[in-house]
Amino acid sequence: MFKKILIANRGEIACRVAATAHRMGIRTVAVYSDADTDAAHVAACDEAVYIGAAEAKQSYLQIARIIEAAQATGAEAIHPGYGFLSENEEFAAACEQAGLIFIGPPATAIHAMGSKSAAKALMEKAQVPLVPGYHGENQDPDFLHKQADSITYPVLLKASAGGGGKGMRIVQTSAEFKEALASCKREAINSFGDDKVLVEKYLQRPRHIEIQIFADKTGECVYLFERDCSVQRRHQKVCEEAPAPGMTEERRRAMGEAAVAAAQAVGYVGAGTVEFIANQDGSFYFMEMNTRLQVEHPVTEMITDVDLVEWQLKIAAGHPLPKKQSELIIKGHAIEARIYAENPEKGFLPSIGTLHYLHTPQAASFTRDQAVRIDAGIRAGDAISPYYDPMIAKLIVWGEDRAAALKKMSQALSEYEIVGPATNIAFLSRLMQSKPFATADLDTGLIERHQDTLFPPHQPVPFAVLALACARLHHDERDHSSDDPWAQHHGWRMNLQTTRPLQFSDEAGMIELAWIYASDHGILSSGDKRIKISDVHAKTHEHDDAVEFDLVADNIKVHGKVVRVAENFHVFHAGQHWQLTWHDPIAHAGEAELEGGRLTAPMPGKIIALLVKKDELVQQGAPLLIMEAMKMEHTIHAPSNGKVEDLLYAVGDQVPEGAQLLAFTATGV
């Protein structure tokens, strides 16, 4: 077995690989970019080598530098993780040439499966069923149009070199074909440097079912059953499970054997996944093969009790497959949910920023020791940057059956608390509890079709949540030297009764409250509603900024946690996360708005336009500059009338979060 390996990746998958290597007594070398100097994956490995700037092209995709790092540290093999160089045949070949073992298939197998078109041609020969379509060399638009017409609509155009759900166009009618083709080719050349496309029948209500295979260097190959990855947004997986609901033994064997035939047709070695698209009647077709470890591999590990990374390492070291097909069995049911920094309400747009607060359910990491597992590469205090994939963690649960696993998943999601970037946690909770998911009525259109239940209208903030936010405000302002919990230190020292108006807002608008201080309790009023708040007990945490409260609101016990980041109050109550912004009348009356940091970068990004010049006088609200972060544009406006004293960045500059963007003096409103 290897003594030392290099992990050419970052984030959770680098941590995941390091965990198994560590358990097997193999030393690990991390590589890192400027953005990852203090990243979790660097801490998880025994050594780390710096390889370049934050942009992946300058670091995690630098083949020569990664190979040099392996040679310099004496690593014998390289694990590529997923993404980045994992399906890059040039990288696999470069490893071989440098005398390093690439922990993955031979470069020839990566090549054979690298083009979706060429792979389909090969699969046709191996008699693996294919979606009806055209995947040949002829790229003449008229010819492709005729092919589409004869396949019959709707058809799907796919970039042959595509991946990650990109480079696809659904074409509903013949009239739309030409325009869709042009736009698909444009995206394909931009994203993958290759505009070759294929056309295939666009299946209605299909399921994405994939088979995990493993082959050793002697040509033996087994399948570790299926994963159902039908729940998707933008053709990208959101959650995955194993086994696939409704799968029969007979079909499982047929799909497993087809996957093994696909792998053997290209001389496959190591871990691979054959993705199939299946009709509701169970008929299935080859879609593509991913020649690497898959993001969702943990669900297979949970049901088979196999550590797939351990198998990868053993096979790369020349060992035979650890188990025969007949020794592999399915136990129970596993579900994975991908926790992303993204905003489901805004079309699942990625979000970035520092994780100010992170609380996770009780779980084991990277192992199958517990029914709840979390694979993460982000810790509290770390940031989701615009440079890499915005995945925060994978939450994986196991149960005796699907219902048990689902229950655990809902429970675990309700305990997952993050303050920082927007996340999809609340969305995942709704998804898990939705009828179609609960009843396993799965297909790739599930999210689209159930917009109404998955995106319910805005709910008014419950009184308990408002009480918790007020309790936190009160707690922070309280005179801690006094034993009297109601004693105030500024502005609101009360005699008998004092009424304090309070303004909070949520995304729907302002919430006007009044907090009446009485001798041993408070009264919270909103509109004509009045609630007595008493028996407030606060528990602070030493290591973070959370305060837990128990209080009684009109005889009802309320428990919750409030994390405060400046004026933002994050209330965690009854498994839900509410964000309220407090509007402090004092801060707004006295201090200049500039102090609020309005001229600083709200997130790391790039300056794309400067709209003012040095020494220019501007009016309040005038646009000053535009930055771009995560494919979105953000305009920075003048906080008041004033003068631009200096421009601190030029167009094209990358700016970190919180960086001052311009020097500005207010000249009064």
Residues binding ligand ADP (CB under 6 A):
9-13, 81-84, 131, 156, 158, 162-165, 200-203, 206, 208, 232, 235-237, 275, 277, 287-288, 290, 294-296, 389, 391, 444
What does 7 interact with, of ligand ADP, Mg ion, none (CB < 5 to 8 A by kind)?
none
Query: What is residue 510's three-state secondary structure?
Result: strand
What does 81 interact with, of ligand ADP, Mg ion, none (CB < 5 to 8 A by kind)?
ligand ADP
Closest approach, Cβ 174 to ligand ADP, in A, equals 18
Query: What is residue 440's three-state secondary structure?
Result: coil
The smaller minimum CB distance to ligand ADP, of residues 190 and 218, is found at: 190
What does 286 interact with, of ligand ADP, Mg ion, none (CB < 5 to 8 A by kind)?
none
Closest approach, Cβ 76 to ligand ADP, in A, equals 22
The smaller minimum CB distance to ligand ADP, of residues 422 and 464, is found at: 422
What does 384 interact with, of Mg ion, ligand ADP, none (CB < 5 to 8 A by kind)?
none
The smaller minimum CB distance to ligand ADP, of residues 208 and 570, is found at: 208
The smaller minimum CB distance to Mg ion, of residues 104 and 167, is found at: 167
Q: Do 170 and 324 form a contact (C-beta atoms < 8 A)?
A: no
> 271-300 mask for Mg ion (x: CB under 5 A)?
----x-------------------------
Closest approach, Cβ 275 to Mg ion, in A, equals 5
The smaller minimum CB distance to ligand ADP, of residues 9 and 579, is found at: 9
Nearest partner of 353 among 634, 622, 548, judged by Cα: 634
Token pair of 582 as six digits: 């407090």
CB atoms within 10 A of CB 141: 12
Going by C-beta distance under 8 Å and a sequence separation of 6 or more, which residues neighbour residue 473?
A: 502, 569, 582
Closest approach, Cβ 191 to ligand ADP, in A, equals 10
The smaller minimum CB distance to ligand ADP, of residues 112 and 551, is found at: 112
End-to-end CA distance of the chain: 72
Of all residues in the shown chain, the one whose CB is closest to Mg ion is 275
Of all residues in the shown chain, the one whose CB is closest to ligand ADP is 83
Question: How many residues sit close enough to Mg ion to count as binding (CB under 5 A)?
Answer: 1
d(CA 187, CA 171): 15
What does 289 interact with, of Mg ion, ligand ADP, none (CB < 5 to 8 A by kind)?
none
Closest approach, Cβ 629 to ligand ADP, in A, equals 18
d(CA 463, CA 567): 19
What does 198 interact with, of Mg ion, ligand ADP, none (CB < 5 to 8 A by kind)?
none
Q: How many residues does the chain have?
A: 669
> 229-268 mask for Mg ion (x: CB under 5 A)?
----------------------------------------
Q: DSSP letter for 618, please.
A: E
* 566, amino acid identity: A
* Sign of the torsion formed by the C-alpha atoms of 16, 376, 343 and 448: positive
What does 389 interact with, of ligand ADP, Mg ion, none (CB < 5 to 8 A by kind)?
ligand ADP
Q: Do 291 and 282 form a contact (C-beta atoms < 8 A)?
A: no
Q: Strands 236-242, 357-359: parallel, antiparallel or unpaired by DSSP? A: unpaired
Nearest partner of 35 among 407, 384, 299, 339, judged by Cα: 384
d(CA 560, CA 575): 9
Chain-centroid distance, C-alpha 148: 35
The smaller minimum CB distance to ligand ADP, of residues 388 and 517, is found at: 388
Closest approach, Cβ 292 to ligand ADP, in A, equals 7
* 243, amino acid identity: P
The smaller minimum CB distance to Mg ion, of residues 78 and 113, is found at: 113
Q: Which long-range contacts (CB under 8 A, 24 or more apart) does 532-538 make?
A: 533/467, 533/470, 533/471, 536/471, 536/474, 536/485, 538/471, 538/475
Give the active site residue among 27, 292, 373, 472.
292
Q: Specify whether 292 is catalytic.
A: yes
H or E element: which one contains 96? Answer: helix 89-97
Closest approach, Cβ 444 to ligand ADP, in A, equals 4
Closest approach, Cβ 289 to Mg ion, in A, equals 9
What does 239 interact with, of Mg ion, ligand ADP, none (CB < 5 to 8 A by kind)?
none
Q: Do 577 and 569 form a contact (C-beta atoms < 8 A)?
A: no
d(CA 260, CA 213): 7
Q: Do 162 and 188 form a contact (C-beta atoms < 8 A)?
A: yes
Residues serving a catalytic function are: 292
Binding footprint of Mg ion on the chain (CB under 5 A): 275
